[in-house]
């Protein structure tokens, strides 16, 4: 992944060491820098806005998640020297359950000519004999961020924590930008897969505005040769952080190892131009090393893992529970000045299990089951009718850190508004026009989360139902944070996606993970997902409230709602 939009102040690392000690991750003392933060308004830097159960190291992008000898490993990019982008190393944490994390010393640091100016994103691959290997982008020139690909092996593969890595002399770099390849946009090698005696991996790139997934092949995983043609390409601009993996048959939730044959394959790339992650589902021809999306228009109308603040994602195969897990990064939505003042920036989304839906057209996502261990005593509501213009509060829990699952039932779709086809490819714009406070026929209805008692502050997560020109219902899911905070100068974009669901029965579900300054929502069992960052100034701590609302003209029934206050993860030791 390329240079970030946020950087840490030099004193930030010390603050993070203190704050993370009570959250899901702490910083190793060897990375601490002593200094004091400037004086800033408490509303933005309140520790109550720091997430309670999301993984939140100082600065992070997903590199090489993997499972090895009883431990889940997470590497992320980090600058131990302070406030500017540079000196990038791979920080390293391990976990038994993907929730409680132990920090270790950095795993990959600049130490050879081909990564002298930074170790950027990459991936991990488990070889047939069980040995893990890391491939990553190294920076050889600081003036233009000249990019090459490198390889590293564990110094001691019997160490389950993989605390030391070596870069064999004579092998690195394993791939360099050849003539015609932009050396400043040539990065992020994928997890490799084995087919017909050859390993393959992808490297993201661009040529004349065409995003490319370059294919590299190797027989021994040490010497790599670029194929004549890319796996796939499209006129989208640079492809960062590509990911390519097989999926089982439609509706089958088991995951597949990257080298297994799948019914379908998924190709995902992060577009530097939009800062969103997009994917297509299609077929992979291993004989020709070509990928073709099922939808002929898929490259122009690609789907997204998440329609909110979610970028530079990475999946890995979990062999213990036979599932594919998706990690993603969420940036801050406040200012750089605020980030420096509060001493932290960027979080990881809750890991998600990911699989192909029964239609075979899209992926479904759901928070990993381990997160449910953090649930406290449940609070339930059932069979409650919410009349037009009404709302009610869900009480009995700390609403600033919660997990909410709710099933709605719409009494009638007769009043659904006509859908304007001009918004067919822009749900986000439609949400901006038809926000939570704009009354409709069927909806908006949903949740007000991180809300103040007087509702001056509230973040709305809701559905709204339209009817297209053929009378077929079209469901919009939206997160509207425009009233999330009274603090000035915040970036508060609406996020939205359409939900490919049959709502003719009137039934639809919503799950929201609320964690102080982040709201992750899953519509209709994970068909549409939206992550949003918010920074309340009133609705924080014990002053955060949770409501169900209906701003449509049609009655909505809460068939069943269960909410749990979420506990902080317990550290396993540091």
Render pLDDT for 372-398 as a digit per residue (tens, 0 to 9). Answer: 999 999 999 999 999 999 999 999 999
Task: Tell me how many domains the chain contains.
Answer: 2
Query: Is the domain of 343 the same as that of 407?
Result: no
pLDDT in tens, 479-494: 999 999 999 888 999 9
CA distances from 115 to 110, 146, 331, 391, 515 (A): 5, 10, 26, 56, 37
> Which residues of 248-310 form beta strands (DSSP E)?
264-271, 276-285, 290-293, 303-304
Indicate if the pLDDT at residue 15 is higher than 50.
no
What is the rounded distance in angstroms from the CA atom of residue 270 to the CA atom of residue 238?
8
Of residues 486, 402, 415, 407, the one with CA closest to residue 449:
402
Instruction: Tokens 């390519």: give the residue.
Output: 244
Query: Is the domain of 295 the same as that of 395?
Result: no
**Residue 331, domain CATH:** 2.115.10.20
Residue 478, beta-bridge partner list: 462, 496
SS3 state at 167: coil
pLDDT in tens, 88-112: 789 999 999 999 999 999 999 999 9
Q: For residue 2, what pLDDT is reported?
A: 61
Residue 574, domain member (yes or no): no
564: left (phi over 0), alpha (psi -120 to 50) or beta: beta
> Which residues of 229-369 form beta strands (DSSP E)?
233-234, 239-247, 264-271, 276-285, 290-293, 303-304, 311-318, 323-330, 347-348, 352-356, 363-367
Instruction: Tokens 């394959």: give the residue.
Output: 265
Indicate if the pLDDT at residue 444 is higher than 80.
yes
Q: How many CB atoms lie within 10 A of CB 488?
A: 9
Residue 120, domain member (yes or no): yes
User: pLDDT-derived band of residue 25, with 50, 70 and 90 as boundaries?
Assistant: very low
Q: For residue 5, what pLDDT is reported?
A: 40
User: pLDDT-derived band of residue 337, with 50, 70 and 90 as boundaries?
Assistant: confident
Q: For residue 50, what pLDDT is reported?
A: 82
Q: For residue 285, what pLDDT is reported?
A: 97
Is there a contact between 428 and 274 (Cβ–Cβ < 8 Å)?
no
Q: For residue 316, what pLDDT is reported?
A: 97
Q: Both tokens of residue 401? A: 């850190």
- In total, the chain counts a number of residues equal to 574
Residue 12, domain member (yes or no): no
Q: Both tokens of residue 43? A: 């509303």
What is the rounded distance in angstroms from the CA atom of residue 89 to the CA atom of residue 456?
43
Is there a contact between 11 and 33 (Cβ–Cβ < 8 Å)?
yes
Indicate if the pLDDT at residue 301 is higher than 90.
no
User: Is residue 425 packed enough to be buried (19+ CB in 10 Å), middle (13-18) or exposed (0-12)?
Assistant: exposed
Decide which of 367, 402, 428 is a domain's last residue: 367
> Would strands 459-467 and 417-418 be described as parallel, antiparallel, or unpaired?
parallel
Query: Is the domain of 411 the same as that of 480?
Result: yes
Residue 248, domain member (yes or no): yes
Query: Is the domain of 228 the same as that of 192?
Result: yes
User: pLDDT-derived band of residue 226, with 50, 70 and 90 as boundaries?
Assistant: very high
Decide which of 367, 397, 416 is a domain's last residue: 367
Decide which of 347, 367, 387 is a domain's last residue: 367
Residue 420, domain member (yes or no): yes
Stretch 199-227: mean pLDDT: 97
User: pLDDT-derived band of residue 346, with 50, 70 and 90 as boundaries?
Assistant: confident
Of residues 302, 299, 308, the one with CA closest to residue 211:
299
Query: Is the domain of 436 the same as that of 513?
Result: yes
Query: Is the domain of 273 the same as that of 380?
Result: no
- Our measurement of the distance from residue 263's CA atom to the centroid of its chain's CA atoms, rounded to an integer in Å, reads 25
Percent of the chain with pLDDT over 90: 79
50 Cβ contact list (under 8 Å, min separation 6): 19, 23, 56, 342, 344, 516, 517
Query: Is the domain of 362 the same as that of 379?
Result: no
What is the rounded distance in angstroms from the CA atom of residue 120 to the CA atom of residue 139?
8
Q: For residue 340, what pLDDT is reported?
A: 65
Query: Is the domain of 417 the same as that of 504?
Result: yes
Residue 512, domain member (yes or no): yes
Residue 141, beta-bridge partner list: 146
Query: Is the domain of 493 the same as that of 477?
Result: yes
Q: For residue 476, what pLDDT is reported?
A: 98
- Our measurement of the distance from residue 268's CA atom to the centroid of its chain's CA atoms, rounded to an integer in Å, reads 12
Residue 38, domain member (yes or no): no
> Which residues of 219-275 form beta strands (DSSP E)?
225-226, 233-234, 239-247, 264-271
Query: Is the domain of 195 the same as that of 288?
Result: yes
The whole domain housing 534 covers 375-566
User: pLDDT-derived band of residue 56, with 50, 70 and 90 as boundaries?
Assistant: confident
Is there a contact between 345 and 517 (Cβ–Cβ < 8 Å)?
no
Is there a contact between 165 and 184 (Cβ–Cβ < 8 Å)?
no
What is the rounded distance in angstroms from the CA atom of residue 532 to the CA atom of residue 445?
18
Is there a contact between 317 and 255 (Cβ–Cβ < 8 Å)?
yes
Q: Both tokens of residue 321? A: 């529970």
Q: Both tokens of residue 59? A: 């600065």
Looking at every residue in the chain, the average pLDDT score rounds to 89
Q: For residue 58, what pLDDT is reported?
A: 53
SS3 state at 269: strand
Indicate if the pLDDT at residue 535 is higher than 80.
yes
Residue 29, domain member (yes or no): no
Query: Is the domain of 199 the same as that of 310?
Result: yes
Indicate if the pLDDT at residue 552 is higher than 60.
yes
Query: Which residue has better confidence, 84 or 477?
Result: 477
User: pLDDT-derived band of residue 49, with 50, 70 and 90 as boundaries?
Assistant: confident
310: left (phi over 0), alpha (psi -120 to 50) or beta: beta
The angle formed by the CA atoms of residues 476, 482 and 483, to the nearest 5 degrees, is 120
Query: In the structure, how many helices (H) and strands (E) does the chain have?
Result: 4, 37
Query: Is the domain of 357 the same as that of 386?
Result: no
pLDDT in tens, 193-202: 999 999 999 9
**Residue 398, domain CATH:** 2.60.120.560
């Amino acid at each position: 992944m390329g240079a970030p939009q946020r950087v840490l102040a030099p004193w930030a690392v010390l603050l993070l060491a203190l704050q993370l000690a009570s959250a899901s991750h702490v910083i190793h003392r060897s990375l601490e820098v002593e200094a004091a933060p400037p004086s800033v308004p408490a509303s933005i830097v309140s520790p109550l806005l720091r997430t309670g159960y999301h993984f939140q190291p100082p600065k992070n992008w997903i590199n090489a998640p993997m499972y090895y000898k009883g431990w889940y490993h997470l590497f992320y990019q980090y600058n131990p020297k302070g406030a500017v982008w540079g000196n990038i190393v791979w920080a390293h944490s391990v976990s038994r359950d993907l929730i409680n994390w132990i920090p270790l010393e950095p795993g990959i640091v600049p130490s050879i000519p081909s990564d002298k100016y930074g170790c950027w994103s990459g991936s991990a691959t488990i070889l047939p004999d069980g040995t893990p290997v890391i491939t990553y982008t190294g920076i050889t020139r600081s003036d233009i961020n000249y990019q090459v690909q490198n390889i590293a092996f564990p110094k001691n593969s019997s160490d389950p924590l993989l605390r030391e890595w070596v870069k064999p002399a004579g092998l690195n770099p394993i791939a360099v930008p050849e003539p015609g390849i932009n050396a400043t946009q040539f990065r992020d090698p994928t997890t490799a897969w084995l087919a017909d005696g050859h390993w393959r991996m992808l490297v993201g790139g661009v040529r004349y505005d065409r995003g490319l997934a370059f294919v590299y092949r190797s027989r021994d995983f040490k010497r790599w040769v670029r194929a004549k043609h890319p796996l796939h390409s499209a006129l989208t601009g640079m492809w960062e952080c590509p990911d390519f993996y097989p999926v089982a048959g439609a509706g089958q939730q088991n995951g597949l190892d990257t080298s297994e044959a799948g019914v379908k394959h998924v190709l995902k790339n992060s577009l530097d131009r939009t800062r969103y992650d997009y994917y297509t589902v299609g077929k992979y021809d291993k004989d020709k090393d070509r990928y073709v999306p099922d939808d002929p228009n898929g490259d122009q109308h690609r789907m997204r893992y998440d329609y909110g603040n979610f970028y530079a994602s990475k999946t890995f195969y979990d062999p213990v529970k036979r599932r594919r897990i998706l990690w993603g990064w969420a940036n801050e939505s406040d200012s750089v000045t605020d980030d420096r003042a509060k001493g932290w920036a960027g979080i990881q989304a809750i890991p998600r299990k990911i699989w192909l839906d029964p239609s075979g057209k899209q992926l479904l996502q759901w928070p990993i089951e381990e997160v449910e261990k953090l649930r406290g005593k449940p609070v339930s509501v059932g069979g409650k009718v919410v009349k037009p213009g009404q709302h009610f509060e869900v009480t009995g829990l700390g609403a600033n850190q919660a997990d909410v699952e709710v099933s709605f039932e719409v009494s009638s779709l007769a009043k659904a508004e006509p859908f304007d086809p001009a918004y067919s490819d822009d749900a986000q714009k439609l949400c901006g026009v038809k926000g939570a406070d704009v009354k409709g026929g069927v909806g908006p209805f949903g949740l007000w989360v991180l809300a103040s008692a007087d509702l001056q502050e509230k973040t709305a997560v809701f559905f709204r139902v339209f009817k297209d020109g053929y009378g077929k219902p079209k469901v919009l899911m939206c997160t509207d944070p425009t009233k999330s905070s009274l603090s000035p100068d915040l970036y508060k974009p609406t996020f939205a996606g359409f939900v490919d669901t049959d709502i003719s029965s009137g039934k639809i579900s919503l799950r929201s993970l609320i964690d102080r300054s982040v709201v992750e929502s899953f519509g209709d069992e994970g068909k549409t997902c939206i992550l949003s960052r918010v920074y309340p100034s009133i609705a924080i701590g014990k002053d955060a409230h949770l409501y169900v609302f209906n701003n449509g003209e049609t009655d909505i029934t809460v068939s069943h709602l269960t909410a749990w206050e979420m506990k902080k993860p317990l550290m396993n030791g540091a």
